[in-house]
Amino acid sequence: MPKGQGRVTCPCEEVQAVLFSYAGLFSPFLARFSLFLFSYAHLIIKHEIKRLEVSNSPILR
């Protein structure tokens, strides 16, 4: 590295740093939202399995 110059960064590294700092501000919200979506998907799957059991679907055999 030439004297007097700092570390050379790729533009993608700068964009990545900006995205991480921006997402870091909202990470508690994103964590709660992800948990909500996971719980909702779990309930939908559970409900669908019960519906298939009641209808004696060959899918569950």
pLDDT tens string for the chain (61 positions)? 455 555 555 556 676 666 666 666 567 776 777 788 888 888 988 988 888 888 877 766 6
- The DSSP code sequence of 2-52 is -TT------HHHHHHHHHHHHHHHTHHHHHHHHHHHHHHHHHHHHHHHHHH
> CB–CB of 58/51 below 8 Å?
no
Give the Cα separation of 42 and 20 in Å (integer). Answer: 29
The pTM of this model reads 0.47
